Amino acid sequence: MPSRTPITALPGLGPAFEAECRRAGIDSAEALRALGTDAAYARLLAAGTRPHFIGFYVIEMALQGRPWNDCHGEEKAALRRRFDALKAAGPSATEDAAFEAMMDAIGVIDPARQRDV
């Protein structure tokens, strides 16, 4: 059986992130690389990880072998668009919509949406 590289061997990824990956079924740096940033992050979201942009781009930088804070300008803006698309399509979007529907059903109205009565 080939040896598996721990996720923590990638730059900027620590034990807490590795534990989240394991919960999402990603058990090694090789598995993370094979999935790529977007698919890996989608799995993390599906496994219950709360969406956070920095976490997303840290994966991208780690897979490129770059420091986590080496993302700037248009590259960072493009990553933000990818993150926003994943977040919108992920389980949290469904959970948020369900929560809003429940709150509407019991009569709790967001003050920003409240109309003059």
DSSP string, 15-78: HHHHHHHHHTT--SHHHHHHHHHHHHHHHHHHTTPPP-HHHHHHHHHHHTT--TT---HHHHHH
Domain range summary for the chain, segments of one domain joined by +:
7-105
Q: What is the pLDDT of residue 89?
A: 86
For residue range 48-107, list pLDDT tens digits in order: 999 999 999 999 999 999 998 999 999 999 999 999 999 988 665 445 555 555 556 666
Which DSSP helix (H) or strand (E) runs through 107? none
Predicted TM-score (pTM) of this structure: 0.73
Q: What is the pLDDT of residue 34?
A: 96
Q: 117: pLDDT confidence band, cut at 50, 70 and 90?
A: very low
What is the rounded distance in angstroms from the CA atom of residue 55 to the CA atom of residue 65? 15
More confident residue, 4 or 2: 4
Q: 3: pLDDT confidence band, cut at 50, 70 and 90?
A: confident
Q: What is the pLDDT of residue 94?
A: 44
For 7-105, the fitting CATH number among 3.40.50.2300, 3.40.50.620, 2.40.50.140, 1.10.150.20 is: 1.10.150.20
Q: 68: which residues sit within 8 A by CB, 6+ positions away?
A: 11, 12, 54, 57, 58, 61, 62
